[in-house]
Structure 1
């Protein structure tokens, strides 16, 4: 099962973007720009996965794996033409991220060709970060060297766990011993490396999770992500849990595993910069930060989402339908929504509070009928002072940062980020 798409409005025309796609932020500064490319193919669909992925690589109609780059080229041409018609200034992408699915199901030459398409469409900013996700079993030394030669700078490997029985429960196809090998090959090619881990898998013990963390630290990537397993309705694992074949992870178990991850990773020199992400200093994923810092991006490929100004857009989900729209010369956008000021404010708080740099409280000040509301010397709205004080007292926000006008989560606060967000918004 692939995720349901949100409900939204059709575009004003087949290749026309809404006028609210202005590249200027509320501060008047031009937003940086990124590109996301979605590759929907996988060798095996994991039992927990609800991403827009498919194991059929020969769908036809321009949607087969062998046709993907050509169809993607068509979408990027249509996207650039639509942005030009909307009078959006050309912006060279600061980051490019190829995700999926398993992008490395495609030959390395295809990924190189996709990056060439981005360069031909928008250019590429000097020093741009270019990342692909990869399954450890789908790459080798030559493949990774080819990526580096093509201009990729970073590869993110789906490790998930170092414990065989946990990998089996997740339906992962790689062996634990493969991960250190591919990281070493990537490093030899000059690529930065990241490992993705999942905690809270049914049947995973605390010792299992510790083993995965210690193994990842020993491998020594530049960056680590650790995500709590969410069992989405409609997935195979969701059905297994409903039938009683697998135990449902508990909140307490996942919280304890998060605290263990933070402790072990800090000890190894990794610093958290977003709730689920740690990096050695200077190796944070810039593309991740683009989402949290309200950059613009174009998402290409089946089901990909885009963000331009106050507009969210999402592509037709099924690869055949996506390819058919591109072949007909129509942007493959299934729908869009225009975010109002209240939605943008909620989103800014929800995303900003997740980061180590935190949320500038002065940005929550309101303009009332009698002018700006009262604030402290650091710009914190006076109405929020007792709220922030309470959150500090409950150990959810760092006191020193709050005194300086920023909301920065403590370790406990990271486990209760939704509570903090509600407190600041309500």
Structure 2
């Protein structure tokens, strides 16, 4: 069974206006103090859930490419000592494509990182400015080339369905991105999240989000172009060459155990949900005073675990097997999915059932949030 480790580095040079992740801008970071606390939080987690080797490690943020490479190396060496690494372990680090961060790529690869996820976000200068990014298109292209030189696997992130974006414009931009030859792409529609600067801008009338119908057209175009290029969608927003899917993210979506350390990190281990303190200073104080950054560790009932597994698994092109979930959580198949809703949406071509396997079709994926609310019984969600 896949076991994954997530390490959260919360610091950024600047907060992007669309971002609702746990990221913070700090003028000074005591690197030695943070490295020591990260290692302590890591050891605490291993004391509780050590044993089987890790199959993936993911450094997320924030901007983990701002971490000193020696800190990355120390964390990986300690994780390997504590858990052991499975053969062919996937070790991913998120990075921004600025020239300063790209200069660290060789050192990060030497530290053990073998996969990088680049936050390109756009290949258009005006869109990068709108999105609050600090890099330009030239730096983005240079960073992809540098990453491909230093890492075995490279993924890029792009944000589309931007205000006023047309199908022709997105076709041209996505085609340019596909020509870069990366083996994985995360392609996200711009979403206006609460408590972000973009949410304030929309409320004040600074811009209007793209309407649902043209956004759906861009979603369909995205699927068509990536499939034609050999990077089909394996999850609602993620596309990869066969065999190059993110094994770390698949652990989440297949609802396997993962351990989360660092500010705001979530984890799932042995039916327990863990949450670290979110504010960097609170997390740091908790680790230094008590040996770990955990704010909450809560046991999940089987029905709540089943609902989470359903909500995650139906994001995947492979869908999920109700028989496997039934055995795993000791819940009858008929109680996992609302049967009348399943028949309705199967008849409408939005969901497909093949024996006990359930998948959301290409037609259903743009409506995924609504489908999940209908298909997953309220008795499970509210368990």
TM over 0.5: yes
Pick aligned residue for 1:302 from 256, 259, 263: 263
The equivalent residue for 1:19 is none
The equivalent residue for 2:167 is 206
Say yes or no: does 1:391 pair with 2:345. yes
- Tell me if structure 1 keeps the 8 A contact 2:66–2:101: no
Q: Which runs of 5+ in 2 are unaligned?
A: 378-383
TM-score under structure 2 normalisation? 0.90
Matches of 2:335 and 2:259, distance apart in 1: 35
The Cα of 1:57 is off from its aligned counterpart by 4.1
Matches of 2:345 and 2:155, distance apart in 1: 33
Say yes or no: does 1:237 pair with 2:198. yes
The Cα of 1:77 is off from its aligned counterpart by 2.2
Matches of 1:423 and 1:172, distance apart in 2: 37
TM-score under structure 1 normalisation? 0.81
The equivalent residue for 1:414 is 365
Pick aligned residue for 2:4 from 34, 43, 47: 34
The Cα of 1:424 is off from its aligned counterpart by 3.3
The equivalent residue for 2:380 is none
Give CA deviations for 1:50-102 in whole Å, capped at 9, x if unaligned.
1111121415xxxx345322221121122233x0xxxx451221100001011
SS at match of 1:117: helix
Pairs within 5 Å for 1:72-151: 72-81=38-47, 83=48, 88=49, 90-138=51-99, 143-151=104-112
The equivalent residue for 1:276 is 237
- Tell me if structure 1 keeps the 8 A contact 2:120–2:157: yes
Matches of 1:241 and 1:382, distance apart in 2: 38
The equivalent residue for 2:288 is 327
Structure with higher strand content = 2
The equivalent residue for 2:323 is 362
- Tell me if structure 1 keeps the 8 A contact 2:272–2:300: yes
Matches of 1:118 and 1:58, distance apart in 2: 27
Pick aligned residue for 1:185 from 146, 149, 152: 146
Matches of 1:233 and 1:381, distance apart in 2: 33
Matches of 2:337 and 2:20, distance apart in 1: 41
Pick aligned residue for 1:173 from 124, 128, 134: 134
The equivalent residue for 1:161 is 122
- Tell me if structure 1 keeps the 8 A contact 2:255–2:313: no
- Tell me if structure 2 keeps the 8 A contact 1:158–1:196: yes
Say yes or no: does 1:339 pair with 2:290. no
The equivalent residue for 1:11 is none
Please tell me the root mean square deviation across aligned C-alpha atoms, in Å.
Answer: 2.5
Matches of 1:382 and 1:257, distance apart in 2: 32
Say yes or no: does 1:55 pair with 2:6. no
Q: Which runs of 5+ in 1 are unaligned?
A: 1-30, 374-378
Give CA deviations for 1:322-343 in whole Å, capped at 9, x if unaligned.
1111111332111233222221
The equivalent residue for 1:220 is 181
- Tell me if structure 2 keeps the 8 A contact 1:78–1:329: no
SS at match of 2:88: coil
The Cα of 1:120 is off from its aligned counterpart by 2.8
Give CA deviations for 1:383-404 in whole Å, capped at 9, x if unaligned.
9766444322212124xxx244
SS at match of 1:326: helix
The Cα of 1:154 is off from its aligned counterpart by 0.3
The Cα of 1:232 is off from its aligned counterpart by 1.7
**What number of residue pairs does the alignment pair up?**
375
Q: Give the structure with higher Rg (CA).
A: 1
- Tell me if structure 2 keeps the 8 A contact 1:105–1:138: no
Structure number with the bigger relative contact order (C-alpha 8 A, sep ≥ 6) is: 1
